[in-house]
A and B are shown apart, each in its own frame.
Chain A
Amino acid sequence: MKLRQFFPLLLVALLAGGADAADPQSIILVSTTSVENSGLLAQILPVFTKETGITVHVLAQGTGQALQTAARDDADLVLVHDPEAERKFIAAGDGIDRRQIAWNDFIVVGPRADPAHIAGTHDAVAALKAIAGAQAPFVSRGDKSGTDALEHRLWRVAEIDPAKAGAGSWYRDIGGGMGAALNAAQAMNAYTISDRGTWLSFKNKGDLAVLVEGDPHLINRYDVILLNPAKHPVPKQALARRFAQWLVSPEGQAAIGAYKVGGEQLFHPSATAPK
């Protein structure tokens, strides 16, 4: 009897799965954890869906994984923030029509006690040197995300190999998302680098504070990229293009600019004047 009672549920679930996958009016956007965790997409997607009837399913992955997912044809377009990895993605023939949609910035956060004495400075590279010099705990994403890529670029500019200098002691590679890294930094009184969006919407700040901001190195650009139909004949190319065009249109840009957390604007629309 039990089996027979469960059976309809099973059918419903499988049909729902199949039907939705075949739903011609939905696309899969693979984006970064920073965009998803900040709440931006939850704010702007309903506006787009209302206008066009197209549902956008959002996968939140680190930029590295996101580009990989798209290269395997498992998404219809990408929204990421690692210029270097994006250039490689396009050079490999996977992506086309990259457009910057918005920017915000990265910040160095850390404990108020600030053992490396970096609070109030505006030079991220100098701050990392000070952290390494003081051997103060530092949490690294270590997940090949856009933020992770930025961190490693900064260490290269600082001419420090943190894994060599501090793995197993002060340099803590957690291999996790932005939220996980902030949780870890909060728990270990450590420094870390975060995008401002995730930081502002993060709810477990504890003793952490923004210590370094305003360095041109710390600009964080978000780009939308379509898949190259020559290499990825994804069936929903037209819908994906429509969404990408909406993001850079005056309506899309206005929706992005209108998103605020605690009165602070999280993303600055920049389709017409890329940073």
Chain B
Amino acid sequence: MTVSLSATAVAAIVGLPSGAALAICRFPGRRPLILLANAFLGLPPVVVGLALYLLLSRSGPLGMLALLFTPGAMVIAQAALATPIIAALAHRAVEEPWQEYGGALRVEGASRLRSIRVLLVIARRSVLTAVLAGFGRTISEVGAVLIVGGNIAGYTRIMTTAIVLKTSEGDFGLALGLGLVLIGISIAVSASAFVLWERS
């Protein structure tokens, strides 16, 4: 749960501004980047897991961080999966208001950073959806976290990897129960995001 929320937070911090930047800034390589963000919507989790495993392994290039088989590695994996989703959706969300208000912002002499902030606020409904979509990816994901987390009991075992384990033990009752709790958490997070939204 903390893993998924942290990963979503990282993905939002990276994904939202970069998605918005893709919508309003003009620079070489922008189109390929947009294409990439959209293509990575379908980034296979096991491949992300494997690549990270090789990077973080003690005999890999980032081995000295000693991150493999820790919750930190799981956050990185999930953030890598959620960032393209949030960036691609943020890009879509900001495109339209940019066409509408872009002129005004330019007249006002707003900096690009300020424009990004203003536009993200204008498009906040779609932005919330983008973040929730990212969260949906992180909380339902199992392939990558199983590889880089190792499913260590009480340490890197999370709901989805526990469900895989319980299924393999033939304990379908508990596996299904955990599944229902997971769906419940997902609903609760979405619901509370919307409630907080209505209040603010």
B131: chain A residues within 8 A (beta carbon): 2
Give the contacting residue for B6; candidates A9, A33, A60, A182; CB below 8 A: A9
Contact across chains for B151 and A60 when beta carbons are under 8 A apart: yes
Contact across chains for B67 and A21 when beta carbons are under 8 A apart: yes
Contact across chains for A14 and B75 when beta carbons are under 8 A apart: yes
Given contacts A12-B6, A178-B168, 15 further A-B contacts (CB under 8 A): A2-B12, A2-B131, A2-B193, A2-B196, A3-B12, A6-B9, A10-B5, A10-B9, A13-B2, A17-B70, A28-B152, A33-B168, A58-B152, A203-B170, A203-B171
Q: Which residues in window 1-23 of A have CB below 8 A to B?
A: 1-3, 6-7, 9-10, 12-14, 16-18, 20-22
Chain A, Cβ-Cβ closest to B72: A17
A-B contact count, CB below 8 Å? 111
B67: chain A residues within 8 A (beta carbon): 17-18, 21
Chain B, Cβ-Cβ closest to A178: B168
B10: chain A residues within 8 A (beta carbon): 10
Majority secondary structure, B binding face = helix
Majority secondary structure, A binding face = helix
Closest Cβ–Cβ distance, residue B160 to chain A (whole Å): 16
Assembly CA distance A203 to B166 (angstroms): 10
B153: chain A residues within 8 A (beta carbon): 42, 58
Task: Give the total of B residues in contact with A, Cβ under 8 Å.
Answer: 40
**Could you give 10 example pairs across A and B, Cβ below 8 Å?**
A9-B2, A12-B2, A13-B72, A17-B75, A21-B70, A28-B150, A60-B151, A74-B57, A74-B69, A177-B168
Assembly CA distance A202 to B74 (angstroms): 29
Residue B44 interfacial (CB < 8 Å): no
What is the interface residue range for chain A against chain B? 35 or more
With A73-B57, A74-B57 already in contact, the answer to whether A21 and B75 are too (CB < 8 A) is: no
Assembly CA distance A7 to B6 (angstroms): 7
Query: What 0/1 pattern do residues 38 to 78 of A give for CB contact below 8 A with B?
Result: 00001000000000000001111000000000001110000
Q: Which of B29-37, B58-66, B102-110, B180-188 lies at the interface with chain A? A: B58-66
A203: chain B residues within 8 A (beta carbon): 169-172
A204: chain B residues within 8 A (beta carbon): 170-172
